[in-house]
Amino acid sequence: MTLSYDLHSHSTASDGTLSPAALVERAHANGVNVLALTDHDVTTGLDEARTTADALGLTLVPGIEISVTWKDQTVHILGLHIDPANEALQNGLTQLRKFRDWRAEEIGRGLEQHGIPDAYLGAKKYAHGSIVSRTHFARFLVEHGHAADLPQVFKRFLVRGRPGYVAGDWAALEDAVGWIRAAGGEAVIAHPGRYKLTATHRRSLFSEFKECGGVAIEVISGSHSQDEYGTMANYARQFGFLASVGSDYHGPTNPWMELGKLPELTKMCTPIWAHWADNKGGSVIN
Ligand code: AMP
Ligand code: MN
Ligand code: MN
Ligand code: MN
């Protein structure tokens, strides 16, 4: 039987709209056999996801999506099969969340100066006690009629040059990969097609990532176009990366794709799960 893998998803522990349990239930109902929960900079959803996955017979891969600043760009690095109890990883994530908390208040101030009061508290309400992401600001701004949908609200308010954008540094690439490896995980570049990089810069990101010990890139991603599947498959081969697949699911109302709808990986790539025990999510063999 061919298993259905989805190695990138979010819950209410970060900026998804489904609880970890509801996310796992939906993945299972949609035919996903192996699911990685990869919340932004936080691992608090993993226990609940694991309990539901065990009850349903779905294989849960414990994961993380770490925010990185690389050459003035935000880049996301996934860690798969991490041990969430690892101290180096948790210390790193704690630092990132401190920056995130400071940034959220600054975003609130920026929007206030632009004539939009109470955005910080509004975003916090959407965050349900977990990390505050730009996505939570986006939901607040849409709710209050400042834009029609999330893509528009990002464009108008939350990207560089806009009133709700705050510059600052996330983790360094080698630190993020180091924490993931310290926690026994495999590092994967998330949605490489989404970064606005020249071909030369993209190649140097891939080289540096490889030097740090990164093993894979997402070839199939909910935010890649059909063309990008091919481009990233070629890069994976050229750089000797394994290939990962992930929807980047954030919930039923998010613009990206539904769970269980990812296309198959081209045979020219080696999937990241090729060396996992039983080709499933349990553990890493080498
Ligand atoms: P943050 O980590 O707080 O900077 O927020 C980044 C998150 O915002 C990403 O993980 C996406 O979920 C979301 N996001 C970024 N750009 C867009 C966009 N154009 N439309 C919708 N969501 C977006
Ligand atoms: Mn997100
Ligand atoms: Mn991402
Ligand atoms: Mn993501």
pLDDT tens digit sequence for 192-234 = 999 999 999 999 999 999 999 999 999 999 999 999 999 999 9
- Tokens for 187, please give them: 């590092």
pLDDT of residue 279: 61
Which pLDDT band, with edges at 50, 70 and 90, does 271 fall under?
very high
Instruction: Give pLDDT tens digits for 229-241.
Output: 999 999 999 999 9
Q: Is the beta carbon of 151 within 6 A of some atom in ligand 1?
A: yes
Mean pLDDT to the nearest integer, 143-170: 96
Please say if the pLDDT value at position 285 is more than 60: no
Predicted TM-score (pTM) above 0.95: yes
pLDDT of residue 196: 95
| CA atoms of 101 and 133, how far apart (whole Å) | 9
Q: Above pLDDT 90, what percent of the chain?
A: 94
Q: Is the beta carbon of 250 within 6 A of some atom in ligand 1?
A: yes
pLDDT of residue 253: 84
| CA atoms of 189 and 97, how far apart (whole Å) | 20
Please say if the pLDDT value at position 117 is more than 50: yes
Q: Is the beta carbon of 130 within 6 A of some atom in ligand 1?
A: no
Q: Three-class SS of residue 109?
A: helix
Q: Which of 282 and 34 is assigned the larger pLDDT?
A: 34
Which pLDDT band, with edges at 50, 70 and 90, does 125 fall under?
very high
What b/e readout covers 112-140, taking b as 16+ CB neighbours within 10 angstroms?
A: eeeebeebbebbbebbeebbbbbbbbbbb
The minimum-distance atom of ligand 1 relative to the CA of 15 is: 12
Q: Is the beta carbon of 8 within 6 A of some atom in ligand 1?
A: no
207 Cα to the center of ligand 1, angstroms: 25
182 Cα to the center of ligand 4, angstroms: 21
Q: Is the beta carbon of 107 within 6 A of some atom in ligand 1?
A: no
pLDDT of residue 286: 45
pLDDT of residue 1: 72
Nearest CA to ligand 1 atom 20: 151
